[in-house]
Amino acid sequence: MVTGIIIFLLIVANVLVSWKGFGDQVFFDRYKFSLEGVLLYKQNDRLFTSGFLHSNWLHLIFNMFALFIFAGTVSEVLQWWGFLLVYFMSLVGGDLLSLFIHRHSGDYSSVGASGAVSGVIFAAITLVPDIPVGLFFIPMPGWLFGLLYILISIYGIRSRTGNIGHDSHLGGALIGVLVAIALQPSALIQNYKTILIISVPALVFMYLIISRPHVLMVDNFFFKKHRKHYTIDQRYNEDQHNRQQEIDRILDKINKSGMRSLTKAEKDKLEDYSKRIR
């Protein structure tokens, strides 16, 4: 009963916050995971809030469906408090890994509960390796799903589009495995083969991108997207310049036509600028 209420509240929170973000770009930009937001403006709350935002409805539905499917297995073995521990540690852990991996990529940002959900999925697979899972309506054992999920996440990092945090999938998944083992040590002995199968590819890839950061500094396989000259300082300077130009344009518009001529988005930008300079 308690677990059902907790899962319901988590899904509702994700839907409401994501819905707000879909229609409010200022809100979305303020609470998404952003490298410059965390490192430059010390907005550490983004490590948590970004896990309740999503890039679109499909992204949201996929994450919430996966959460609904796997949460029961985790809470049945680890109880409701163990499930919450897996969820929130995986959420923050996934973003922390993203922060470390992309610490030199000034234009990096992401959203989604993927890190938290990945943690729940991999905790479930760690505890019950043969849990049946369907991928694209194809039934398979949990360990095989976990392996394919890791490989898809690795591909997503290499050819990312949009603001989906594919690397947080890896971080969240491994945190989920570690928390599950910490709370249920017997799983390590009973299911060590499964744990190795789903963990080794992720650990190897993480080692590569941590020891050789240039592996991540690639454009999308299909089109140019990232500026390779970016560092966090260069991104900050360019953003400051672009922001000042936008504010100057808005002030010039006020001077010519008055405050009533501003759109809601322009008013929001002016208000955000005012808060920054206080």
Please report, for the domain that includes residue 175, its CATH number: 1.20.1540.10
Which pLDDT band holds residue 8 (cuts at 50, 70, 90)?
very high
On whether both 249 and 132 belong to a single domain, the answer is no
The reply to whether 66 falls in a domain is yes
Q: Give me the percent of the chain exceeding a pLDDT of 90.
A: 44
pLDDT for residue 41: 85
The reply to whether 223 falls in a domain is no
Across 244-251, average pLDDT: 83
On whether both 119 and 152 belong to a single domain, the answer is yes
On whether both 150 and 45 belong to a single domain, the answer is yes
pLDDT surpasses 60 at 222: no
The reply to whether 129 falls in a domain is yes
Q: How many domains are contained in the chain?
A: 2
pLDDT for residue 227: 47
On whether both 206 and 245 belong to a single domain, the answer is no
Domain range spanning residue 56? Answer: 2-215
pLDDT for residue 238: 64
DSSP string, 191-220: THHHHHHHHHHHHHHHHHHHH-GGGT----
- Structure confidence by residue, pLDDT tens digits, 72-106: 999 999 999 999 999 999 999 999 988 887 777 66
On whether both 24 and 146 belong to a single domain, the answer is yes
The reply to whether 34 falls in a domain is yes
On whether both 85 and 171 belong to a single domain, the answer is yes
Across 163-191, average pLDDT: 89
pLDDT for residue 164: 56
pLDDT for residue 208: 80
On whether both 136 and 24 belong to a single domain, the answer is yes
Query: How far, in Å, CA of 234 to CA of 251, rounded?
Result: 26
The reply to whether 93 falls in a domain is yes
Cα 227 from chain centroid (whole Å): 22
233 or 47: whose pLDDT is higher? 47
Rounded to 5°, the CA angle 11-15-19 comes to: 170
The reply to whether 114 falls in a domain is yes
The model carries a pTM of 0.75
Asked if 70 contacts 122 with a C-beta cutoff of 8 angstroms, the reply is: no
Across 168-197, average pLDDT: 94
